Amino acid sequence: MQRHRDSLAVYIHWPFCARICPYCDFNVYKSKGAAGDDLVTAMALDLKYWRSVTGPRALTSIHFGGGTPSLMRPAQIQTLIDMCKELWSAAPDIEIGLEANPDDAEAALWSGYKAAGLNRLSVGIQSFDDEVLKFLGRNHDGAAARRALELACSIFDNVSADLIFGHAGQTQMAWQSDLDTALSFPMTHLSAYQLTIEDGTAFGRAARRGTALDVDENMSAALYDVTRDRLSDAGFSHYEVSNYERGDTRSAHNMAYWTGIDYVGIGPGAHGRITTDKTRLATVAQMTPSGYIRAVSEAGHGGEERHPLRADEVAEEYVMMGLRIREGLDLKHSSLAGKVLNIEDLEEAGWVAREHDRLKATDKGRLVLNEITRQLLLT
């Protein structure tokens, strides 16, 4: 996989969902499936604008996230993939991925995505247990989750399943059963996210009223260990806090975030990071679909905000992200040049381990990444 300074990733945010899940804090809008052609047209123009800012780059990944991008039609996906490839040169092993909802599992639709150029499908399974899915406010049930994973694996060589653990009352056995069901399919990648209760969500409001929705710290650590042990027995390698690969199947899209590769964010509320003339810009697009479309038609791009990050912010972001992956961060990374890093104390605490020019978080350290980042850069 190409990882040089001229690399670029593109993130495309499709902001619509058929139903809003109570734990979700993404920028999403309820819609059963608005055609959205005007949004696709705006996105294509926005891509052109960003090409004028980034100049020529090697595209390592295009990622359709959301929201629910599996509400998009294959022709819409094709328009945006073609535009990206026309504007930048695609790396030979480019990853073109999409986050799909099990509700949208239709052979014609997903085969259409593959024909449009998609080579990775990540399916938002969350659980195979009907009760858990109901609790999470999902539209699909366990049978639909199984059907979706089977269909995805029959169409794509590279399939990831997203699962969520850590809801109140979950036992290790119940979680292991979800993992075992997932492992009965020939998928290549698995993301196991812990349920987090965010302010501003329905779960956040319920938690403030005193409802227990997630497990305590001890159970959370036990479930994390079950995940790692079970997946490693099944031949998956744990390469990031929440992510496991079978073979060389890391998510190139997420690796761009974790290794500091630039990315363009297209679509309502999408974030980007672009390095120009030694400055790293943080960009955010207009939040609402109508505001985004209007901004593109008036200004030629959908950006609401952009500002250069300070050197300490760039370093902090790089450290925080780099410590998430197994091989850790590169101590020679440009963002750390000239910085005195407080490594010894962290090694003594057993939180990090140094190997040549890399600094990795230990299992113990992965639980306190914020604190490591703060102390490492404390000079």
User: Which residues of this chain interact with ligand SF4, rule CB under 6 A?
Assistant: 17, 20-21, 24, 26, 28, 66-68, 101
Measured from the CB atom, the residue of 43 and 352 that comes closer to ligand SF4 is: 43
CA distances from 12 to 9, 77, 97, 366 (A): 10, 10, 10, 29
Closest contact distance (angstroms) between CB of 138 and ligand SF4 is: 7
Closest contact distance (angstroms) between CB of 104 and ligand SF4 is: 10
- Amino acid identity, residue 318? Y
Measured from the CB atom, the residue of 26 and 49 that comes closer to ligand SF4 is: 26
Cβ atoms of 96 and 117 within 8 Å: the answer is: yes
How far apart, in whole angstroms, are the C-alpha atoms of residue 91 and residue 109? Answer: 26
How many Å from the N-terminal Cα to the C-terminal Cα in the chain?
34
Angle at which helix 107-116 crosses helix 74-87, to 10 degrees, equals: 10
Closest contact distance (angstroms) between CB of 64 and ligand SF4 is: 12
Report DSSP state, residue 336. Answer: G
Measured from the CB atom, the residue of 26 and 185 that comes closer to ligand SF4 is: 26
| 206, 208, 209, 212: CA torsion to nearest 10 | 60
Closest contact distance (angstroms) between CB of 136 and ligand SF4 is: 8
Residue nearest to ligand SF4 (CB): 24
How far apart, in whole angstroms, are the C-alpha atoms of residue 332 and residue 311? Answer: 15
Measured from the CB atom, the residue of 201 and 259 that comes closer to ligand SF4 is: 201
How far apart, in whole angstroms, are the C-alpha atoms of residue 330 and residue 3? Answer: 13
Helix (H) or strand (E) holding 352: strand 352-355
Closest contact distance (angstroms) between CB of 174 and ligand SF4 is: 21
Closest contact distance (angstroms) between CB of 103 and ligand SF4 is: 9
Measured from the CB atom, the residue of 28 and 43 that comes closer to ligand SF4 is: 28
And the tokens for 251?
Answer: 């998510």
Measured from the CB atom, the residue of 14 and 113 that comes closer to ligand SF4 is: 14
